[in-house]
A and B are shown apart, each in its own frame.
Chain A
Amino acid sequence: MNTIDNFLTDSCKSNPQKLALIDDNSKFTFLELEEKVKKFSSFLNQFPEKSVISLLFDNTSEFVISYLGIINSGCIAHLIPTGISQSNLQNQIISAQPKLVLSSNSHFSKINDMELENLEKLKFSEVKEISSDTRTLSPNDYAYLIYTSGTTSTPKGVPITHSSCDFSTKNIAKTLQYSKNDIDLLPLPLSHSFGLGCLHTSLYVGSTLVLQKNSNTTDILNSIMKYNVTTLATVPSTLSTITSNSSTDSLDPLSNLRLIITNSTFFPPETIRKLKSILKTGIVATYYGLTEASRSTFMIFDDEEKIESVGMPSEGIQIKIQNDSNDDKIGEICIKGSNVIDNYWKKEYSENKSDEWLKTGDLGRFDEDGFLYILGRVDDLINISGEKVYPQEIERIVKVLSGIDEVVAIPMKHKSFGEVVKLFVKKSVNSEITSSDILTHCIKNLERFKVPAKIEFVEDFPRTDYGKIKRFMLKE
């Protein structure tokens, strides 16, 4: 069983002069990176082991050096998204209770503005080497702490052990066949489980990681060409933007990729088909996972019939569908395995686990071949006279209409039917679509009881710091 620091030291032993990391301003070989990390961790050794150190950085080498430095020093890295609101930042700091908050120069004002007593704050550039002690890590120690995005409720602290991370990293590397020959482009935040998993995988297999600060599609295509990238990890919306807004010729850089990996947010089938048609020999893949249960399934898209599935459980991971009725194949997805957390931070939310099974709050079903399909969230179900309606089904139908950017269906109380569908719609710029256009389309394409009883147009939706829509706030 590895600890995260071994990923770097092992790759450094094998290929010290190989390029490990590239960002906008710098490049590091594995040897250079290891030396930087050691120096950084020597500073952190002044803090007791298992202290929490918070990190607020963009996707830069500074993030990677600080993160690995914290890990090396036996402390716990609390990863903060750079887009975090001031109130959420304050809540996370109060909950995590860090000994120190480290930040890039550009984000320092955010932590400096916080009015918390005895909170030590430091810029990356102020860190100096002060001791040469080394510490021994245990696989069962917590390595890092991430707060969930709060899409469905209050953000929860999720601490991840070295052993859980080791399991997930090997799972990713094996399933998607990462190797030291890869050059991995990452335009995803390292403060999120998806992006961080990609960093771990690159360090573990000894590939080269190219960090990009944003998901600008032109930058992505340019980076692929500039660095001869072989794998791209990004969210479905970025891939949809790339394929829908770019001319066929401009998508040429994608054609030589070995792998495009995305995550389990709804992945439009037409985007998958377009990507597959562009790739010469590469694969398109997705996964289903939570911060609490990283990469629980993988799906490599090679079967048109399974295009809406998130795949099958990974080796060593069990998934079951839990529901009240024996006949109903749809229910809450529960996960058990070495990738699942033991507890939430401070052992809160213990009701989310039962006999080592993590209750995800996601609704799903398996098909006859054992492929998993995500249908939405348990809390989002709309119960219309006993009929269970999945908001995503309605949203997908409405999204087909042009002139609509985003749409969310929620339950609305009704005196006869218990609940009916209410639709929130964010129109595209200059769109002239009306609620009667949407209703007429719904009547033609949905069963009667699923047709929205109310439509409200909104300028935008309440969102988390990660940009996800806070559905629960629309219900209030």
Chain B
Amino acid sequence: MSALELSGLIFTGAFAAGLLGSLTGLGGGVVIVPLLTIGFGVNIRYAIGASLVSVIATSSGAAAAYVREGYTNIRIAMLLEIATTLGAVAGAALAAVVSTQLLALTFAAVLLYSAYLSGRRATEHLPVEHSDPLAIRLKLNSSYPTSAGEQPYGVRHLPGGFALMGVAGMLSGLLGIGSGAVKVLAMDNVMHLPFKVSTTTSNLMIGVTAAASAGVYLRRGQIDPALAFPVMLGVLAGALVGTRLLTRLATRRLRTIFGVVVALLAAEMVFKALSGRI
């Protein structure tokens, strides 16, 4: 295949990933690695590098809009980014010594978890009133806009959330994904932040986490410009179109489609890894 044909095909695939990612809110980054490895026979070490680039692009684009809406908690993001960036550097270092088979199998496990999450309905819980003393000292409690005006919220279990963020960063550095699902899990389930605050703050953190990993991958020669440009431009164009035609109506069905696609990709990845073709 010529470079022109390959970039055209990758651009189309990345466009679809960016579109689906922004329409479902699940992030398209997780499908870039299977798209490149299973779809186009790209070595997984290059695929992870290209995926990181797409993750930074979509996260930064979306975060720019969210930050101005007042949901994002910049202090929480900054504090937890200590954990995610350290985890990312450790994960990126680990990725260099792990075999491509093991990388693919770990990736498949994360894909299956993402598929499971896409089928689950998000549970909206009431914001907690009391914060942990440490969270108060670090001024993490804040408020967010609701239809009934500004709603204050507190922050719980900071050490647990911090530790889980380290794991999220590690997965991001190891597999080249945003780990948005794990980040939301840490903030929503562990720290009891409102769902909208969790998702938008997670989005802001994803870019910094992926930038830490991308720095290591760039120096290791795993970011190939000829693969990076169709992925980056495709995902950005897809996300841009997605936010324009965002119709809440079909979101539920799209999430189901996304879940099925991701589960099939996981199965294919396990098969290829076990038969030694990845």
Q: Are A and B co-members of a single complex?
A: no
